[in-house]
A and B are shown apart, each in its own frame.
Chain A
Amino acid sequence: MGEPVYSATDFSAPAMVEGIAQVVELDGKLAWLVPEQTTSCGGCASASACGAKGIGTTASRLELRRFQLVNDAGLRIGERVVVGIRENALIKASITAYAIPLATLLAAGGLAQWAAGSDRVTMAAMFAGLALGLVFARIGAGRMLLRGDLAPRFIRRASAGDTCNS
């Protein structure tokens, strides 16, 4: 039994952030997909001269973000599909990855400055706080993964005119 598919007019359904991905590999009941490039990076007029290209090619960056889906829909290699995650899952993920380490970093720095008042001690305390925050983030991300919040869901097959921003 697959996940329920929410239609665009069902306002009781949780808001989904949608994206388009292409099936690149089939592995038994699983399909491996690579997200398509969004216009936020690579679609603008200066894409050919963008400094972000120096860090890695677009293709290699997208390959790093490869993910898997249970292939209940009988997907084939090369097919484009619309996948989605819950909107609040993206916000929760951002809080887990960035806000928790930042909060522990600043709390540790504030305490160290109040107690010692030295730049070097504050710096060391902030790095310790960051490391502690990353441990908390790892635990939080593990819980989200167990609840299935981080897993993209299959919504529908993409039509020829569908783009990441349509």
Chain B
Amino acid sequence: MKEYILLMISAALVNNVILARFLGLCSFMGVTTRIDTAIGMGMATTFVITVSSMADWAVEAYLLQPYGLGYLRTVTFILVIAAAVQFTEMIVRKVSPPLFEMLGIYLPLITTNCAVLGVALLLVEGKMNFIGATLFAFASSIGYSLVMVIFAGLRERLALADTPRLFAGPPIGFIVASLLALAFMGFSGMSTS
């Protein structure tokens, strides 16, 4: 139990997908102008990363490894991720068409989010069991969503701040992102003893 808790804390905070591994930076800068869109994107990404990582683990364990097809890993995972996004879109549309009208815009953006592929490749590297891989993917995506929401809150405040003209917009956004990354580096000093 303890090892799973440590795995999740490590994936969400210490090795944060955005601020430590530098994955998913496109959506990090593109969808964080408002907190509500950051939450929508974060939750959709959390769902897709978790579901696609489960599928990727199964494909790796029961197809790629037994038949020595490791060289097809990247292309297979991309295919699985695209299928997972389409599956999610179909399910949301089927479960509730009004929910799809409201949330459907975020889903195609996830297909090209490198964080989804990055997490799948990392869990293969980690040689985890199924529950470990699922919890790792879930915690990684929770870390992604957390940083998205924090950064969106900061950008909403920055929009109201009196920023020098040369720094207004993305430049001050990048400076704040670097300070946030420095703050998250503090988690690497945590000790379990």
**Contact surface of A with B, Cβ cutoff 8 Å:** 17, 35, 38, 40-41, 44, 50-52, 55-56, 61, 64-67, 85, 87, 89-91, 93-99, 101-102, 105-106, 109-110, 113, 119, 122-123, 126, 130, 134, 137-138, 141-142, 144-145, 150-151, 165
* Distance, CA A96 to CA B99, complexed state (A): 9
Residue of B nearest to A67 (CB): B101
Among B30, B34, B85, B95, which residue has its beta carbon within 8 angstroms of that of A137? B95
Q: Contact: A41 with B105, CB < 8 Å?
A: yes
Extra A-B contacts (8), CB below 8 Å, given A51-B112, A52-B108: A55-B111, A56-B108, A90-B39, A93-B103, A97-B96, A102-B46, A150-B96, A150-B99
* Distance, CA A110 to CA B98, complexed state (A): 32
Give the distance to chain B from A104, nearest Cβ to Cβ, in Å.
Answer: 12
Q: Contact: B50 with A41, CB < 8 Å?
A: no
**B31 on interface, CB distance cutoff 8 Å:** yes
**B180 on interface, CB distance cutoff 8 Å:** no
A145 in contact with B108 given A102-B138, A134-B91 (CB within 8 Å):
no
30 A-B contact pairs sorted by A residue (CB < 8 Å) = A40-B30, A40-B37, A41-B105, A41-B109, A50-B112, A51-B111, A51-B112, A52-B109, A52-B111, A52-B112, A55-B85, A61-B104, A65-B100, A66-B101, A90-B39, A90-B40, A90-B103, A94-B39, A94-B44, A94-B103, A96-B99, A99-B43, A101-B47, A102-B50, A102-B138, A105-B50, A110-B131, A138-B96, A142-B96, A150-B96
* Distance, CA A102 to CA B139, complexed state (A): 12
Residue of B nearest to A46 (CB): B26
B110-129 vs A, Cβ < 8 Å mask (1 yes, 0 no):
01100000000000000001
A61 in contact with B129 given A40-B31, A165-B33 (CB within 8 Å):
no
Give the distance to chain B from A63, nearest Cβ to Cβ, in Å.
Answer: 11
Give the distance to chain A from B82, nearest Cβ to Cβ, in Å.
Answer: 7
Give the distance to chain B from A163, nearest Cβ to Cβ, in Å.
Answer: 13
Interface centre among A50, A85, A119 (most CB of B within 10 A): A119
Among A41, A50, A91, A98, which residue has its beta carbon within 8 angstroms of that of B36? A91
* Distance, CA A138 to CA B91, complexed state (A): 10
A-B contact count (CB 8 A): 119
* Distance, CA A105 to CA B46, complexed state (A): 13
Q: Contact: B130 with A123, CB < 8 Å?
A: yes
Q: Contact: A93 with B99, CB < 8 Å?
A: yes
**B86 on interface, CB distance cutoff 8 Å:** yes
A41 in contact with B108 given A110-B131, A145-B96, A151-B98 (CB within 8 Å):
yes
The 10 closest A-B pairs by CB, nearest first: A141-B96, A150-B98, A119-B130, A98-B47, A52-B108, A51-B112, A94-B43, A98-B43, A113-B131, A138-B95
A101 proximity list for chain B (CB < 8 A): 47
B36 proximity list for chain A (CB < 8 A): 17, 87, 90-91
Q: Contact: A109 with B131, CB < 8 Å?
A: yes
